[in-house]
């Protein structure tokens, strides 16, 4: 089993920045893909960013150029650096991981999820 613990959410004004963190615990292997999803009230869950086992990253069009997904160099921590935040970025952000899968929208769909961290962007 793998547990994922997110942190770093909060409330910011439009144009601001936040960095989310995700700590994998348990039987996690560093070659798993890792991904961030988000869900806004009344909307479907959306894949935001992924980092595959080979280190390649991919982003949703809505966050391309504003968000950066990356891993810590020496441990298994995952981060999502978010800048130029917009009100439409508001939602609960989830860290996910999954063995043997890669790709935005595929990584993490059927495996491990964290509890989520809330991001609220006001105009």
- Helix, strand, coil shares, percent, the chain, to 5: 0, 50, 50
Average pLDDT over residues 44-63: 96
- In degrees, rounded to 5, the angle at the alpha carbon of residue 110 between the alpha carbons of residues 70 and 94 is 45
Backbone angles phi, psi at 35, to 5 degrees: -145, 160
| pLDDT at 24 > cutoff 90 | yes
- Mean per-residue pLDDT of the chain: 95
pLDDT band at 75 (very low <50, low <70, confident <90, very high): confident
Backbone angles phi, psi at 115, to 5 degrees: -80, -20
User: For 91-109, what is each residue's pLDDT tens digit?
Assistant: 999 999 999 999 999 999 8
Count of other CB atoms within 10 angstroms of residue 15: 11
At residue 72, the pLDDT reads 87
The two tokens of residue 90 are: 């508001």
């Amino acid at each position: 089993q793998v547990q994922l613990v997110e942190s770093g959410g909060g409330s910011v004004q439009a144009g601001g920045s936040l960095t989310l963190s995700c700590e994998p615990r348990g039987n996690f292997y560093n070659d798993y893909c890792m991904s961030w999803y988000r869900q806004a009230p009344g909307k479907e869950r959306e894949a935001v960013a992924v980092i595959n086992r080979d280190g390649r990253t991919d982003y949703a069009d809505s966050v391309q150029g504003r968000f950066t997904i990356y891993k810590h160099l020496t441990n298994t921590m995952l981060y999502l650096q978010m800048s130029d935040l917009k009100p439409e970025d508001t939602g609960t952000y989830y860290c996910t991981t999954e063995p043997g899968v890669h790709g935005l929208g595929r990584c993490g769909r059927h495996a491990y999820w964290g509890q989520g961290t809330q991001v609220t962007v006001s105009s």
